[in-house]
Amino acid sequence: MDTLKQITNPYLPSWEYIPDGEPYVFDGRVYVYGSHDKFNGDVYCMGDYVCWSADVSDLGTWRYEGVIYKKSDDPANTDLQGNLYAPDVTVGPDGRYYLYYVLSNCGIVSVAVSDTPAGKYEFYGYVHYEDGTRLGEREGDEPQFDPGVLTEGDKTYLYTGFCAIPDTSRHGAMCTVLGQDMLTVEKEPVFIVPAQHNSKGTAFENHAFFEAPSIRKRNGLYYFIYSSQVCRELCYATSEKPDIGFTYQGVLVDNGDIGIDTYKRADMPGCYCANNHGSMVEIGGQWYIFYHRHTNGTNYSRQGCFEKLVPDGDVKFRQAELTSCGSVPFTEKGFYPAYLACNLFTDEQELSVPWQGWMDDRFPKITQEGRDGDEVNGYVCNMTDGARAGFKYFKCMGAKVISVQTKGYANGKLEVRTAWDGQILGSFDIGYANIWHETEGCVAVPDGVNSLFFTFRGDGHLQFGGFTLS
């Protein structure tokens, strides 16, 4: 059956792996710039930069814009040993689009330029001091990493930094002011958010800067978005100025849903998590947070997702909850592929974040068949006894789960609930199957807005392809 065409998480096809998303609206379309992982990748960011875009009125339909920049396009990367880490884009004073990035094996900032948002981008130069020394290579410079950029008038504010724990040689997120040529340092780096080791006694303590700096402006305030020392969460700080005076405000999203207590305890992980990177964007008067999730049981096959942000006063936002639907409940009936699961966990992993356990085959994970680039639906594999896959949210009146798609050496039941620990609404008998198999039945779903949790009880390793609502 065909997958429904509506807003989903991940928002791109299940075979596409674009983490570190920086979303922008240009001329009525949302463009997302990110790094490019691979299915079964060995390391981070193995692919060339590609771009996807969507009309602002239809966030469920995304268009592939193609390869916009290759790692071979950087003259410092002739041996191709440098992978293209998380980029950002800004519109320069000349109206052109400037792509800022750092290669994985360099601590300097490269820049490419294009006349259109979707490129193709051409190498432009390296960020440097007036004497020509590249930023990051002068004595005393800290290595550059994860550039975020904002242009106002003739000035471009460049935000960079990476502060791994327990390294105390790096001091936090930096802001550097560039001149009209988009390359030359006009104001040298200043630290705007501290690293863990120098955050004690500040509002940033326990949520200090780690990586992934990004910048947005809202209602006259500058919002600095970053991945904190907790790694899985995107935090934010605000200031009336772009390069000084930032105040910690809170967490925008956590890719383990730690802190969310709407459907579980706040300290209970809702899924397996690791690093995070993304940013905010306003679309049609509504703010969204883009972030990434992890698949395939590794750190190297990440996928982009987004959620609505709900204001909490004039400045703050509430922490966004992970969903399968981008916070707009599903209303259609039909087949829902299992890769849309926003919750994955087992009985064993309810009380602690499984930093390493999630890579173990005992635990469920989202994966795909075939090779990287094959346009096939993903699914959930390794569902052992007690494994749960959760999908949120549905607003379907009179809905029934009429079949589940499974395969694998598994024997037991797939139970259906509207809460991870709720009453069983019904179940499907599961038996061994070498190929994808539909098990029919009829499990009524209460009217109203509901989540659906599928729990496997039995022996073996179940592969879960999806379910059909009718």
User: How far apart are the C-alpha atoms of 456 and 404, rounded to whole Å?
Assistant: 12
Annotation says 20 is catalytic? yes
Q: Please say whether the beta carbons of 280 and 225 come within 8 A.
A: yes
Say how many C-beta atoms besides its own lie within 10 A of residue 325's C-beta. Answer: 22
Q: How many residues does the chain have?
A: 470
Q: CB–CB of 253/276 below 8 Å?
A: yes
In Å, how far from its chain's centre is CA 426?
33
How many CA atoms lie less than 13 Å away from 364 in the CB half-sphere? 34
Alpha carbon of 80 to those of 40, 74, 299: distances in Å? Answer: 19, 9, 21
Pick the catalytic residue from 16, 20, 233, 254: 20
Catalytic residue among 211, 243, 307, 321: 211
Q: Could you say which DSSP state residue 140 is in?
A: T
Nearest-angstrom CA–CA distance, 57 and 31? 13
- The residues pairing with 440 across neighbouring beta strands, listed in sequence order, are 403
Beta bridge partners of residue 463, listed in sequence order: 407
Q: Report which DSSP code applies to 184.
A: B
DSSP state of 347: G
Q: What are the phi and psi torsion angles at 384 (to 5°)? A: -95, 180
At CA 38, angle to CA 291 and CA 437, rounded to 5?
Answer: 90
Q: How far is CA 294 from CA 84, 344, 372, in A?
A: 19, 11, 15
Residue 320 DSSP label: P
Backbone angles phi, psi at 261, to 5 degrees: -120, 20
- Asked if 58 contacts 40 with a C-beta cutoff of 8 angstroms, the reply is no
For tokens 């120098």, the residue is 198
Q: Which residue's structure tokens are 């096809």?
A: 13
Q: Which residues are catalytic?
A: 20, 211
